[in-house]
Every structure is written in C-alpha cells, then in structure tokens.
C-alpha cells in the first residue's frame, strides 16, 4: 500500500507527494481579481488566490499539465514555476508551445519518471473533451493522466483533466480501472454559450464513476473561479441522489493542508 499526501492548493492545482516524489498538477498561483480571456468571447475572473503561496511550495519534480492555453489551469505565476521544474508532462501542442523540459503526449501514449532511490512512475495520457461534441477546434487539446507505480493496492491514480463525460473517457476509465480519481468538476459554463458545459457536472461524474467504482474520489476544479457553474454545495446536492456505493467514495480534500491517503 502506498501512502500519498495530497495538498489541494486551489482550482485544479494539487501537490501530490509520495516516496520522495513531489508532483504538481495544473499550477495556478496568480492572486485573485484578474479576468482571463479563454477565446471566442469567453472569459472568467479568478475569485480566490492559492491556499499555498508559490514561495512556500518547495521543490517540484514534475508538473502534470492538462493543458497550457487556459489561465485557470496555467497562469502567469504557474508559467514562471515551469522554468524551474525538471519535467512538465502535457499535450503535444502544449509541449511545442512551452518548449524546454516539456514532454508532449497524445491520449494513450506513455512516459516515465525515474530517479535514484524512488519508485518509477508510469504516466499514461487519457482523453479529454473540454466541451460539447465538435468543440475541440475551439477549446483546444486537453489530456488527463493515469499514474502507476509499485505498491499501489487499489489501482492507478487518475487525474481526469478538464473534460465532459463522453465515450472515449468511459473507455479509458474502464481500461485503467483507477483506484483513486482526482476528478475535475465545476460544470464550467459561460453566458455567451448558454447551457453548454465544458467540464463535468456531479451527475456526469456519478455516471462515470458508477461504471468503474474507484476506491476513492477526490473532487477538484470546482471553486475559486467565476465560470464554475456548480460549486461544492451543488455537487453535494447531486450526490445525495447518487447510489450509496458511489456517494461514500467521495472525499473532500481540505484546502491548503496535506491529507494522507492510502492508495
């Protein structure tokens, strides 16, 4: 069994620590108040700052970056952090834009992190659709990550990335059989696009997780930004209608302090 520390810093940003490794997802460390343009007339204002300032973060071995082109997943401070990180795993297009130590993956491709005295980590990119059907030319390329290393009892750690529920995602989840899911929620929406959603709602997540029944589900990416249409209260209301075998697996990470979990 692997003991892992998760520290939810805010939005999609989580520090993951185990066996000497320090991994960071989607670094966002800008202060609140700024409005970020996402293209095609959409934008969002950041409402809360990081629970852990970047100056207090400490060294990071690798960044798992679901995509580089939206400010709620990589902001200006996050870009600065990347310059000091030995490896950034991201999309193919993102790696081309970032250059340097960025490694680009397409869904299904794998890479490996290795260091003396630590277990090797196999990382597999998983598919994301960051919006309704046919939206990829507008919303851009996004991936998730399945992480496997020796000692995991319940199965891989899966970071879903910003995605709605769709067929390729279900197939990937069935193939991975994750034990722990870092689940990007929030039901992202914009006034200019009406009822369309660009990340999963709680109801979609219940459908997804109901098919794979992971041991632990960790919601992230649901607070701190104006474009989140479903915060924790809304997620919890929908979970009340979910089967107990799914509802009981949700675990809310505290913001700003480490939580130890057995994977």
Structural domain tally of the chain?
A: 1
| C-beta of residue 180 within 8 angstroms of C-beta of residue 91 | no
The reported pLDDT for the residue numbered 136 is 87
The whole-angstrom separation of Cα 183 and Cα 121 is 20
CA distances from 69 to 5, 24, 37, 40, 210 (A): 28, 17, 10, 13, 31
Token pair 């300032």: residue: 53
Beta bridge partners of 262: 3
- Residue 98 lies inside a defined structural domain of this protein: yes
Distance CA 104, CA 96 (A): 8
Q: What is the pLDDT of residue 137?
A: 83
Per-residue tens of pLDDT for the chain, all 263 residues: 789 999 999 999 999 999 999 999 999 999 999 999 988 788 999 999 999 999 999 999 999 999 999 999 999 999 999 999 999 999 999 999 999 999 999 999 999 999 999 999 999 999 999 999 988 888 899 999 999 999 999 999 999 999 999 999 999 999 999 999 999 999 999 998 889 999 999 999 999 999 999 999 999 999 999 999 999 999 999 999 999 999 999 999 999 999 999 99
| 261 occurs within a structural domain | no
Is residue 226 in some structural domain?
yes
The DSSP-derived string for 212-249 is: H--SEEEEES-SSBTT-S--HHHHHHHHTTS-HHHHTT
What interhelical angle do 232-239 and 202-212 show, nearest 10? Answer: 50
- Domain assignment present for residue 263? The answer is no
Q: pLDDT at position 241, please? A: 93
SS3 41: coil
- Whose tokens are 């790696």? That residue is 95
Assigned domain for 20 exists: yes
* Residue 248 covered by a domain: yes
Question: Residue 50 in contact with residue 13, Cβ under 8 Å?
Answer: yes
45, β-bridge pairs:
35
For residue 86, the enclosing domain spans 3-254
CATH number of the domain that 160 lies in?
3.60.15.10
Q: Which of 107, 119, 8, 106 is nearest to 61 (CA)?
A: 119
Q: Say how far apart CA 172 and CA 146 lie, in whole Å.
A: 10
Q: Is residue 92 part of a domain?
A: yes
- So what's the pLDDT on residue 135? 85
Question: Which tokens sit at 262?
Answer: 């057995």
- Predicted pLDDT at 226: 95
Domain-embedded: residue 260:
no
- pLDDT at 253 (0 to 100): 98
Residue 48 neighbours by CB under 8 Å, 6+ apart: 10, 32, 223, 224
């Amino acid at each position: 069994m692997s003991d892992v520390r998760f520290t939810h810093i805010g939005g999609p940003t989580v520090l993951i620590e185990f066996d000497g490794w320090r991994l960071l997802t989607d670094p966002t460390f800008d202060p609140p108040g700024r409005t970020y343009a996402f293209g095609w007339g959409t934008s969002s204002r950041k409402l809360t700052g990081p629970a852990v300032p970047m100056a207090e973060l400490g060294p990071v071995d690798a960044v798992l970056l679901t995509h580089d082109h939206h400010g709620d997943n990589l902001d200006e401070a996050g870009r600065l952090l990347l310059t000091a990180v030995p490896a950034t795993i991201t999309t193919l297009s993102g790696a081309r834009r970032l250059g340097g130590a960025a490694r680009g993956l397409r869904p299904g491709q794998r890479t490996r992190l290795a260091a003396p005295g630590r277990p090797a980590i196999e990382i597999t990119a998983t598919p994301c659709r960051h919006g309704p059907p046919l939206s990829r030319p507008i919303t851009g390329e996004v991936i998730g990550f399945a992480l496997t290393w020796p000692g995991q009892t319940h199965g891989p750690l899966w970071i879903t990335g910003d995605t709605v529920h769709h067929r390729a995602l279900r197939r990937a989840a069935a193939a991975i059989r994750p034990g722990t899911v870092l689940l990007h929620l929030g039901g992202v929406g914009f006034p200019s696009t009406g009822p369309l959603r660009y990340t999963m709602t709680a109801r979609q997540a219940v459908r997804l997780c109901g098919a794979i029944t992971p041991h632990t589900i960790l919601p992230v990416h649901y607070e701190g930004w104006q474009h989140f249409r479903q915060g924790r209260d809304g997620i919890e209301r929908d979970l009340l209608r979910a089967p107990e075998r799914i509802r009981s697996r949700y675990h809310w990470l505290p913001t700003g302090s480490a939580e130890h979990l057995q994977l």
